[in-house]
Structure 1
């Protein structure tokens, strides 16, 4: 009896030499496609958020975009392989992470594998180059987690085109997001620079006049002058100013006028500023008995309701007074003592 065998029967198990392991360039390209878009967006948004006032609407936009980019990267690396079989980058490269028997790897194992890549990095990046010499092209993380990266040909040509189209769309979206964020950041910085320049110009023009009006008053208009000065002070500085005005009224009011001869802006933001002022003035009502004054002060300003107000006034050099148009001069030093001749000296 002759046994008849079906010559079309094929072996269902492929030998080991048929397995194709992913090359190092393919693995590197897949990693870049997986990580680079998210890393670019996160880096761009973090830099833009750093240059934006914390808590503003634009700061929240940058932080939200950064969070979305991080979440999308993690989903792509750890969850997408369980759904479609591979990450976006590995699908474009035509490779998959598998077990030594060729079975798919779950999300938990992929997560542990990504953390194990820290070992590849800690070993002076030797682990990342280990596939160049390993027979099965494994990194230290692959050796530790018992995984391999293999070339797969389970998709049709149209499916490959779809994956590449999706990858291209992701890269384009990341590039557009970075460009849009950069544009918003530039506009924000440009607006801040213009606002700071406007604030600097305002305080340079208004600051000296505000300090002059704050310190000047006359005997006939003292009530109105003091009320005007109180309106030029912030709520925090006003009680101190009122106490000084009350002390002046108790001591006896006399004409007091100041004018700024020079000033310099020390610092400025959109709603705060500091100035250094050199003041000159005169005190008294009798033209023949005027006292001329010089002083140096630091004035701190706050802007509320589009108005600059004095938040603090610090005297750096106490006022010096003099009469008849000349500053008061210190008395001359006493003459040196006459030398005493030594005892026993002749004439």
Structure 2
């Protein structure tokens, strides 16, 4: 009679090794990477559309940095300490080296860098586990690592993964909301600035250029108050030339105008002017000119930052 001996359960260690499916590995990678990538991408795009070094820019930038750090800790720091990243815990996957030893931080970092080889090979490296006996990617082959199926670490893992994904989604939505509100306020501010320049600009130009012979000093002082500190010396020099000449009243009024550009605190206006020089009805000279006026908003008030004459004043004497 021939005796049949039972094979001990651990006689062949390889027979007890289980490898995760390609879909499970893809799911683990998605949970580990995609939430952080979504937050980082969203915040980077929003930061580009906001003024650099402004409050919102800092909010978006810091959030993106924190998302990146969270991904780094999850992928590279937690596995050596706990044996798992969040995504791998959901699917019961552990990255090990020879002898079933959990991979350390340095090897995990190099493994993720080596995934570039999986990508630049027209993604063949990512698909290699579909037919490799040990389900390895090119990065695994290079770093001598394996993904083993060892079972989930305990209850609550899926809930924590869901919370992480939800937080990432809320951050993206909140960031998008802040970005929209900022853009909306910016658009409203530009529309308001355009309306103010269109309404106030022509009146400011009339007041700055008009003066009376008897009230010249007061009128010139009023004109200087309508300009920025940078442009005021140029206006004062022009006024001094007028004061040295024969005192003559000048009155201008805007006949047409168009806003060339507008932002929250700056704008440009094209103004067509008509006017008259002198006070004697028999010696009046009628004036026409076209000017471009640049405005800056200072302390809530629009000030003339520059005035360029595009069409020099032409004069016609009144007929008697």
Q: If the TM-score is normalised by the length of the shorter chain, which range does it land in?
A: over 0.9
- Alignment correspondent of 1:253: 247
Q: Equivalents in 1 of 2:38, 2:152: separation in Å?
A: 31
1:12 shift after superposition: 4.2
Tell me whether 1:195 sits opposite 2:211 in the alignment: no
Tell me whether 1:284 sits opposite 2:284 in the alignment: no
1:44 shift after superposition: 1.4
Tell me whether 1:317 sits opposite 2:311 in the alignment: yes
1:82 shift after superposition: 1.0
Structure having the higher Rg: 1
Structure 2: which 5+ residue stretches go unaligned?
A: none
How do 1:238-277 residues align onto structure 2 when only pairs under 5 Å count?
Answer: 238-277=232-271
- Alignment correspondent of 2:175: 181
Tell me: CA distance 1:103–1:186, structure 2 relative to 1, closer, same or farther (3 Å). same
Q: Equivalents in 2 of 1:260, 1:109: separation in Å?
A: 75
| Matched position secondary structure for 2:257 | strand
Tell me: CA distance 1:255–1:13, structure 2 relative to 1, closer, same or farther (3 Å). farther
| Matched position secondary structure for 1:164 | helix
1:13 shift after superposition: 5.4
| Matched position secondary structure for 1:287 | coil
1:178 shift after superposition: 1.4
Q: Equivalents in 1 of 2:230, 2:188: separation in Å?
A: 29
Query: How many corresponding residue pairs?
Result: 315
- Alignment correspondent of 2:15: 17
Q: Equivalents in 2 of 1:111, 1:311: separation in Å?
A: 56
- Alignment correspondent of 2:93: 95
Q: Deviations over 1:232-273 (max 9, x none)?
A: 000000000000000011122211111111111111111111
- Alignment correspondent of 1:220: 214
- Alignment correspondent of 1:300: 294
1:105 shift after superposition: 0.4
Q: Are 2:91 and 2:152, in contact at CA under 8 Å, matched by a contact in 1?
A: no
Q: Equivalents in 1 of 2:291, 2:152: separation in Å?
A: 81
Q: Equivalents in 1 of 2:263, 2:12: separation in Å?
A: 72
Q: Equivalents in 1 of 2:224, 2:11: separation in Å?
A: 94
Tell me whether 1:136 sits opposite 2:130 in the alignment: no
- Alignment correspondent of 1:57: 55
Among 36, 39, 43, which residue is 2:37 paired with?
Answer: 39
Q: Deviations over 1:164-189 (max 9, x none)?
A: 11111111111111111122222212
Q: Equivalents in 2 of 1:187, 1:270: separation in Å?
A: 15
Q: Equivalents in 2 of 1:163, 1:26: separation in Å?
A: 15
1:101 shift after superposition: 2.8
* TM-score after normalising by structure 1: 0.87
1:153 shift after superposition: 2.6
1:114 shift after superposition: 0.5
RMSD (Å), alpha carbons: 1.7
Among 176, 201, 208, which residue is 1:207 paired with?
Answer: 201
1:88 shift after superposition: 0.5
Q: Equivalents in 2 of 1:13, 1:222: separation in Å?
A: 110
Structure 1: which 5+ residue stretches go unaligned?
A: 1-6, 326-347
Q: Equivalents in 1 of 2:314, 2:152: separation in Å?
A: 93
Q: Equivalents in 2 of 1:88, 1:140: separation in Å?
A: 23
* TM-score after normalising by structure 2: 0.94
Say which is worse superposed, 266-275 or 227-236, in terms of deviation: 266-275
